[in-house]
Amino acid sequence: MERAIRTTCAYCGVGCGISATPTGPRSVTIRGDETHPANAGRLCSKGTHLGETTGLTGRLLHPMIGNRRAGWDKALDLVARRFRETIDRHGPDSVAFYVSGQLMTEDYYVANKLMKGFIGSSNIDTNSRLCMSSAVAGHNRAFGEDVVPASYDDLEEADLIVLVGSNTAWCHPIVYQRIQAARAARGTKLVVIDPRRTETCEGADLHLPVKPGTDVALMNGLLAWIAQQGLTDPAFLADHVSAPEGFWEHIRTGHDLWTTAKTCDVAPALLEQFYTLFAATPRTVTLFSQGINQSIRGTDQVNAIINVHLATGRIGKPGAAPFSITGQPNAMGGREVGGLASTLAAHMDFAPDNVARVGRFWAAPKMATKAGLKAVDLFRAVDEGRIKALWVMATNPAVSMPDANRVRDALAACPFVVMSDIMADTDTGAHAHVRLPAAGWGEKDGTVTNSDRTISRQRPFLPLPGEAKPDWWIVKEVARRMGWRNAFAYDRPADIWREHARLTAYGNDGQRVLNLRAWAAIGNDAYDAMEPFRWGGTPFADGRFPTPDGRARLVLTKQMDMQEPLKQWPMTLNTGRYRDQWHTMSRTGLSPKLARHREEPLVEIHPRDAAALGIADRDLARVETAQGNSIFRVSLNEGQRRGEIFTPIHWTDQTSSGGRTGLLPRPLVDPHSGQPGFKSTPASIGKVATEWSGFLILRDREGIGQPVKLPCLWSTRIAVPGGALYEIAGNGDPARLDAFLPKGDRVEAMDASRGTRRIATIGEGRLNGVLFVTRSGLLPSRDWLIGQLQAEGVGGSVLAAREPGAAGDKGATVCVCFDIGLNQIVAAIRDRQLVDVPAIGRALGAGTNCGSCRPALANILAQNMQETLHAAE
């Protein structure tokens, strides 16, 4: 029997430990690692279903030059030669790397060293720029170093947790579960500050639906309130904090409760309730993520939060800290090695003595001496022809960058693009001259750092498929071919880890909190056996900060003027994640179970806004901004503020004809961090009329991961067991879709009065494909038909779309672990008089495995109990 391997989840920055037991060549059983400090055995729905994503569907298995397979030597030689020629002809700043929080720290280290110490440019930036670089800039301004001054343990020691701009229940589910457990155990209060009423708000003590982009006013107002009540910490301020001239005068002016409430568009009484609670609760953790960071004033928003904590001395103590949580599994590791264009290495900046120190350590021939191009500027430079050779590692900027269509044009025009990735066909890969097959999760070997500074091993438990290689190996082979053999003589990740750890300690006599000296000389076996550990202890517990004078710095932050909506763009577009999908779905999109939570890219809109525009639930609508437009399925949601719409970031050309959120936001960035503002783009929305709608179900999982364009206005591909489901809609004659049905005996039924066509193809008693189209808008549930892909003895009665006498439609999937639908839950609440989430779990099993759906269950429960009560009145 195979041994369980302890590793770390591939997805979010919570960094949960996983126990993976291989069960076949590409299959694995996944459990939460009960010994890991981040999750103690818990996993959310994404982590739980990682085992569904380790197959080879869509994988890039061989180096490719153009569309031809090439040997590694030929491909690496070409990459090294083109980079060398470009640098020789146009200088080091004519090349760039765009890397990813999916890389291991060791991968990141080698890429950063090559660019900043040997090529002599700082043009290496990462998709983490889009996720949390405002937190980095804010930490540097306040503390003098990018140190997250909190740990997950603080969540269990706090009396108040404030979530700002974070749909924690969906985006960091295990953190959310830890918060809920703390609430149950010790009555911790929970406040959510978010323009949208998300599932995170379920059961919170308070929700402040602030106007987007007003967090500086909110936090400055809070500080003004605290100061007015005499509740700052004068001793901490006097001993450990500096304030710029005019700071307190600025806070006292124009930040009264009424003015702040007006700016933030919340009721003064609600604001006062929050301020009173905050002021009275010394053990407060303020946890923030993309809602704060992804703003054109993100760094000021971060510092406005930190200011409040510094002024009240709520830092460096149990249960009291500002807490930035990251989106990606190794955004933090990238920060530690210097994988951002704005940092050098090991938490050092480009001060001349740092450049000299790192240059000595690397024995570098050509050190970069200044910051490089940050992501948006980097792709602008590609577009303008200043970057002539670009290497994209483990990320998909053609989808994820703001103004993504312009990024596609830039990639298409770039003289030389390299992509190293696990997937063969991505929207970015379509523009690559060379594609290099990289190691995926389960094959990677290295370390990652999660949001609370815990470093964990990602261990391999699957063989490298085809000719795939680890990213660190690919980069070092190119470096060696560029002429730097000795400096990149790594044989294994442990070699790189030791060098990275030594650099953090090099010339570090306490100036930098990041110091991994204790791990700098570990042997290969000790590296393999490394237990998760958190570096930095409890930062700032002694009141000393890594600034030249040892004092933290308050930063004067001003609320930017809020623009009134323009006539052409009356709505404000906010963007974000779904609970069960990850980034551009190259992995999670393979999982039929994860696909069930949200099958199509939705635009969420308040019902009254929709009614005013003549838009109904489930219509199609075009969302348009100055950058472009894309079509989404409409979802009415009273949790949206009026005048605001929300779309998810996940869909690509590989999965849908619409849903392209990335092309909509402006490429505007925060002036300090360079992080784009994804959360408030002026937009418009309008109904897209279609004459018919339908669905197509096709056998064969091989189709998933391959782009399939269907000849209709709307198509979204959804992974289902044994095949793929396409939701479709369009105008004109839908008969042209018949050609997409696989071969087989054809059965069909037409109803001219409803404009309905139902066609199935069957071979040897097995369903090969089915196409349902209607002009009346009524379609049956897909569930039973999907199940027929795996049934035998299928006949013409399949067109009835349900088993004779079978139970009704179970509704949209809520619990993906046990495949429990909304209608089943509602029926159980009503028929069995269930009154709480555990009771639903006992009745149906829903919510009793990963727990990711518990906020949704609470929401359904609240709605249906209310309806039941109203019915009884």
Q: How far apart are CA 171 and CA 166, in angstroms?
A: 8
CB of 39 to ligand SF4, least distance (A): 6
Which range of residues in 9-17, 207-215, 458-466, 526-534 is near ligand SF4 by CB under 6 A?
A: 9-17
CB atoms inside a 10 Å sphere around CB 531: 11
Least Å from the CB of residue 460 to ligand SF4: 18
Among 5, 6, 7, 14, binds ligand SF4 (CB under 6 A): 14
Residue 672 sits at the vertex; the CA angle it makes with 671 and 677, to the nearest 5 degrees, is: 55
Instruction: Name which of 32 and 821 has its Cβ closer to ligand SF4.
Output: 32
* Smallest gap from residue 450 Cβ to ligand SF4 (A): 8
For the CB of residue 289, give the shortest distance to ligand SF4 in the complex, in Å: 12
| CB distance 561 to 160 below 8 Å | no
Query: Binding mask 446-465 vs ligand SF4 (x if CB under 6 A, - otherwise)?
Result: --------------------
Does 613 help bind ligand SF4 (rule: CB under 6 A)?
no
Residue with tokens 């149906």: 844
Q: Residue 18 CB, nearest distance to ligand SF4 (Å)? A: 8
User: Could you say whether residue 15 binds ligand SF4 (CB under 6 A)?
Assistant: yes
Give me the least distance between CB of 374 and ligand SF4, in Å please: 26
Compute CA distances 786 → 51, 476, 724, 808, whole Å: 21, 47, 9, 15
Near ligand SF4 by CB under 6 A, which window of 11-19, 493-501, 818-826, 838-846? 11-19
The amino acid occupying position 698 is L
Residue 44 contacts ligand SF4 per CB under 6 A: yes
Helical H segments across 211-246, by residue range? 215-228, 234-240
Pairing of strands 389-393, 95-99: parallel
Pick the closer one to ligand SF4 by CB: 454 or 788: 454
**Site size with ligand SF4, rule: CB under 6 A:** 14
With contacts defined by CB under 6 A, name the span among 39-47, 267-275, 540-548, 836-844 that binds ligand SF4: 39-47
Site for ligand SF4 in 117-176 (CB under 6 A): 172-174
The residue among 688 and 815 lying less far from ligand SF4, judged by its C-beta, is: 815
- DSSP bridge partners of 279: none
**Do 106 and 447 form a contact (C-beta atoms < 8 A)?**
yes
Nearer to ligand SF4, 39 or 293 (CB): 39
- Of the CA atoms within 13 Å of residue 277, those in its CB half-sphere come to 21
Binds ligand SF4 (CB under 6 A): choice among 5, 28, 30, 43: 43
Nearer to ligand SF4, 62 or 597 (CB): 597
CB of 141 to ligand SF4, least distance (A): 28
Cα gap 291→166, rounded to integer Å: 6
**Residue 46 contacts ligand SF4 per CB under 6 A:** yes
Task: Pick out residues in 173-202 that bind ligand SF4 (CB under 6 A).
Answer: 173-174
Of 41-49, 137-145, 340-348, 418-426, which segment contacts ligand SF4 by CB under 6 A? 41-49
For ligand SF4, which stretch binds (CB under 6 A), given 8-16, 142-150, 505-513, 535-543? 8-16
Written as one letter, the residue type at 169 is: A
Q: Which segments within 381-477 are labelled E, that is strand?
A: 389-393, 416-421, 434-437, 446-449, 454-458
Ranges within 286-345 binding ligand SF4 (CB under 6 A): none
Rounded distance, CA 340 to CA 844, Å? 47
Separation between Cα atoms, residue 837 and residue 549, nearest integer Å: 52
Which residue from 12, 237, 634, 729 is in contact with ligand SF4, where contact means CB under 6 A? 12
Q: Which of the 8 DSSP states describes residue 344? A: -
- In whole angstroms, how close is the CB of 43 to ligand SF4 at the nearest point? 4
Stretch touching ligand SF4 by CB under 6 A, among 42-50, 494-502, 561-569, 793-801: 42-50
Length of the chain as a residue count: 873
Rounded least distance, CB 135 to ligand SF4, Å: 18
List the one residue out of 798, 777, 776 whose CA is nearest residue 789: 798
Give whichever of 177 and 761 is closer to ligand SF4, judged by the CB atom: 177
Contacts of 477 (CB under 8 A, 6+ apart): 72, 76
Residues with Cβ within 8 Å of 184's Cβ and at least 6 positions away in sequence, in order, are none
Beta-strand pair 745-751/389-393:
unpaired
- What CA–CA distance (Å, rounded) separates 204 from 189? 8
Angle between the 352-362 and 493-505 helix axes, to the nearest 10 degrees? 140
Cβ-contact 330, 500 below 8 angstroms: no
Q: Least distance (Å) from ligand SF4 to the CB of residue 47?
A: 2
Q: Are 786 and 802 in contact (CB under 8 A)?
A: no
- Yes or no: say if 761 and 743 are a contact pair by the CB < 8 Å rule: yes
Q: In angstroms, what is the minimal distance from the CB of 818 to ligand SF4?
A: 17
Q: What are phi and psi of 496, to 5 degrees?
A: -70, -40
Nearest distance from C-beta of residue 259 to ligand SF4, angstroms = 39
Instruction: State whether residue 209 is helix, strand or coil.
Output: coil
Beta carbon nearer to ligand SF4, 47 or 298: 47
Of residues 102 and 559, the one with the C-beta less far from ligand SF4: 102
Q: Which is nearer to ligand SF4, 171 or 375 (CB)?
A: 171
Q: How many CB atoms lie within 10 A of CB 694?
A: 21
Q: Which of 16, 115, 142, 367 binds ligand SF4 (CB under 6 A)?
A: 16
CB of 449 to ligand SF4, least distance (A): 13
Chain position whose Cβ is nearest to ligand SF4: 47
11 binds ligand SF4 (CB under 6 A): yes
For binding to ligand SF4 (CB under 6 A), which residues are involved?
9, 11-12, 14-16, 39, 43-44, 46-47, 172-174
